[in-house]
Structure 1
């Protein structure tokens, strides 16, 4: 691992929720002047969309809020445990799939659900908007934005990062 905060967001296909979380985290750390402190990525537990950009509806929703989603889908692998020290999953199914790949209790402890950082500490799932209408993508955006902001504040405090641009 590098001296950066290495964080990866994981959902099923890596085309909706995890690229959104990835893009939001990139956007927010850039705004706060903290980009050099982070290595941010996303992946899916399913490889069927490998190489694809985020779903066009998710990109459209993010763009409407001034956030660009640039990532390309890839599958989460056991090597990701060696690279990332924070593995953030979107739902219980993703959690179970990632935990199955862990080789130690230490690796399992790196995995947590994004919504453990929502304002209610609900630890609920981030609903997958893929099969719904555009309103599901907007709802997903709001849930992920809240949780990513709270997660970032926690990381800033835990790693004693400077508060450059609030």
Structure 2
């Protein structure tokens, strides 16, 4: 999947329809604007199998469009191969983190660095809360957190 000369990041949340596709789209736009998107393999995935093949949540898509960002992502579940092919796997909360670490333990010599995306937040908001049962404002909060975290992550990896 990821070429040896490229950097790679997989954003992960529970269902891959709210937080992780927003993070993926935000990071892709930042990398594009910075002229480095061709140096990255960028994707997102879910710890669960609930939404495989689904488009991102309409409220998330609306939030992204409001910020002039488009995505054609379809939800997918994280695979064992992801732990070998991605350099970074960045997730949204402690539950995602423990699910990923448990899955990673079944992969021999996996190379991915598994972290909370929020660990890059200059405002130190470690957890990016699931907006699924929330409002449009909750999606906007997720977007703003993703912007801060992705900016810091991209700077740390440039």
- Category of TM-score, reference length = shorter chain: over 0.9
Relative to structure 1, the CA distance from residue 125 to residue 107 in structure 2 (aligned partners, 3 Å threshold; closer, same or farther) is: farther
Q: TM-score, with normalisation over the residues of structure 1?
A: 0.88
Q: Distance in 1 between matches of 2:109 and 2:22?
A: 27
RMSD: 1.6
Q: Distance in 2 between matches of 1:132 and 1:108?
A: 35
Q: Report whether the alignment pairs 1:110 with 2:126.
A: no
Matching of residues 1-166 of structure 1 within 5 Å? 1-2=2-3, 3-103=5-105, 107=110, 110-122=113-125, 124-156=126-158
Relative to structure 1, the CA distance from residue 96 to residue 136 in structure 2 (aligned partners, 3 Å threshold; closer, same or farther) is: same
Q: Is the 2:87–2:111 Cα contact (8 Å) retained in structure 1? A: no
Q: Distance in 1 between matches of 2:149 and 2:114?
A: 15
Q: Which runs of 4+ in 1 moved over 4 A?
A: none
Return 5+ residue gaps in structure 2 as ranges.
none
Return 5+ residue gaps in structure 1 as ranges.
157-166
Q: Distance in 2 between matches of 1:59 and 1:116?
A: 25
Q: Distance in 2 between matches of 1:145 and 1:5?
A: 19
CA deviation digits over 1:9-67, x for unaligned, max 9? 00000000000011011111111111110000000001110001110000000100011
